[in-house]
């Protein structure tokens, strides 16, 4: 919050990130070195991310001091680049020049929605046009654009979420994150929730909307880097989470649902007692489903359900044979 003067109704930065104050620049290097000792950086592309707030809302000299501390790690090849998260209305040419000069390769904008009514009701303090303008500036410089969206904000709907995803694609988003709205203790959203003026999405509704949004992004080959919030332990341990569709395996549930939709079409072979389903190796867990949900669904149609894998299949290709 030191960097952010805004008050989005769902946000409590301390509870979400688990930190109460800005770290010193020297601390950053110690944190990065600690993590680097657990990564084989020669085999991986490793980035440093400044997340959990509005990086470009910090004073330019503070931004500079953080980014400069990382430069030796970049020069030595241990780190390939830096990514930061910020608000769309805190992007301008000068700020981007500073970031680019100091090895920032990706800028993620907390856009949250491309519907002005949803943005207003959520207290975001910026418009959909601000997201478009900031995205243009970022893309014009050849930087990688990340866009974050939330589902289930006040005034939101399935249609509006799909509209947001389509606009992200139009703006040329390289990376996207999808977060279901959660009610956190001490936020304005909690007050609305307690007064009955905000009803969070149920887990099933959130899975349904996210499934459609995710498939929309996949069709355009947009890189989906996160689905679902990963709250700090503090958020869970201290009862910070009041309501909303939180699940530790949210992405797995969404992938299970996508496969459930695909497999529904193969259930109607009434004369068969056995079904063999062959799927790509890296999709087998999702095809079988979270807690075997899809296997159980198929078992209500067939006596025997056999899942197999093939390295010839890609994405969510599959084939079935019956006996």
Which residues contact ligand SF4 by CB under 6 A?
A: 4, 6-8, 11, 13, 53-54, 87, 110
> CA 209, CA 213: separation in Å to the nearest integer?
6
When the beta carbons of 52 and 172 are compared against ligand SF4, the nearer one is 52
What whole-number distance in Å separates Cα of residue 310 and Cα of residue 282? 10
Distance of closest approach, residue 123 Cβ to ligand SF4, in angstroms: 8
Tokens of 239: 């009862």
12 vs 283, which CB is nearer to ligand SF4?
A: 12
Residue 73 or 150: the one with the smaller Cβ distance to ligand SF4 is 150
- At closest approach, how far in Å is the CB of 142 from ligand SF4? 26
Cβ 20 to ligand SF4 shortest distance, Å: 14
Find, among 7, 16, 9, the residue nearest to 240 by Cα: 16
Which one, 87 or 212, has the nearer CB to ligand SF4? 87
CB of 107 or CB of 263, closer to ligand SF4: 107
Q: Which is nearer to ligand SF4, 9 or 258 (CB)?
A: 9
Distances (CA, A) of 122 to 41, 151, 227: 40, 12, 20
Determine the Cα–Cα distance for residues 303 and 270; give it in Å rounded to an integer. Answer: 11
Beta strands in 37-80 (DSSP E): 47-50
User: How many other C-beta atoms lie within 10 A of the C-beta of residue 4?
Assistant: 17
Secondary structure class of 315 (helix, strand, coil): coil
CB of 57 to ligand SF4, least distance (A): 8
Reported as half-sphere exposure (CB side, CA atoms, 13 A), residue 276 has a value of 7
| CB of 183 vs ligand SF4, minimal distance in Å | 14
Least distance from ligand SF4 to the Cβ atom of residue 54, Å: 5
Give the CB-side neighbour count of residue 312, counting CA atoms within 13 A: 4
Least distance in angstroms from the C-beta of 49 to ligand SF4: 15
Contact status, residue 3 vs residue 54, Cβ threshold 8 Å: yes
Q: Which of 282, 221, 219, 222 is nearest to 255 (CA)?
A: 282
Residue placing its CB nearer to ligand SF4 in the complex, 193 or 301:
193
């Amino acid at each position: 919050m030191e960097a952010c003067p805004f008050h989005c109704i769902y946000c409590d930065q301390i509870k979400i990130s688990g930190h109460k104050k800005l770290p010193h620049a020297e601390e950053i290097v110690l944190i990065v070195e600690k993590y680097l000792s657990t990564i084989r950086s020669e085999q991986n592309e490793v980035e440093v991310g400044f997340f959990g707030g509005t990086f470009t809302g910090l004073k330019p000299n503070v931004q500079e001091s953080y980014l400069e501390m990382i430069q030796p790690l970049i020069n030595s090849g241990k780190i390939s680049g830096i990514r930061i998260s910020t608000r769309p209305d805190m992007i301008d040419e000068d700020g981007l020049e500073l970031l680019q000069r100091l090895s920032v390769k990706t800028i993620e904008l907390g856009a949250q929605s491309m519907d002005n009514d949803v943005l207003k009701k959520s207290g975001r303090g910026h418009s959909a046009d601000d997201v478009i303008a900031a995205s243009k500036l970022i893309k014009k410089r050849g930087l990688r654009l990340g866009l974050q969206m939330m589902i289930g904000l006040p005034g939101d709907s399935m249609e509006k979420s799909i509209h947001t995803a389509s606009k992200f694609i139009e703006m040329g988003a390289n990376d996207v994150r999808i977060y279901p709205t959660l009610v956190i203790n001490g936020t304005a959203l909690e007050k609305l929730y307690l007064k009955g003026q905000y009803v969070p999405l149920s887990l099933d509704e959130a899975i349904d909307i996210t499934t459609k949004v995710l498939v929309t992004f996949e069709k355009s080959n947009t890189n989906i880097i996160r689905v679902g919030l990963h709250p700090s332990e503090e958020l869970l341990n201290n009862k910070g989470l009041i309501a909303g569709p939180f699940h530790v395996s949210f992405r797995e549930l969404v992938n299970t649902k996508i496969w459930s939709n695909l497999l529904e079409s193969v259930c109607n072979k009434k004369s068969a007692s056995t079904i063999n389903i062959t799927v790509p190796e890296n999709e087998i867990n999702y095809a079988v489903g979270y807690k075997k949900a899809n296997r159980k669904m198929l078992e209500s149609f067939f006596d025997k359900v056999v899942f197999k894998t093939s390295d010839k299949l890609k994405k969510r290709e599959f084939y079935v044979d019956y006996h």
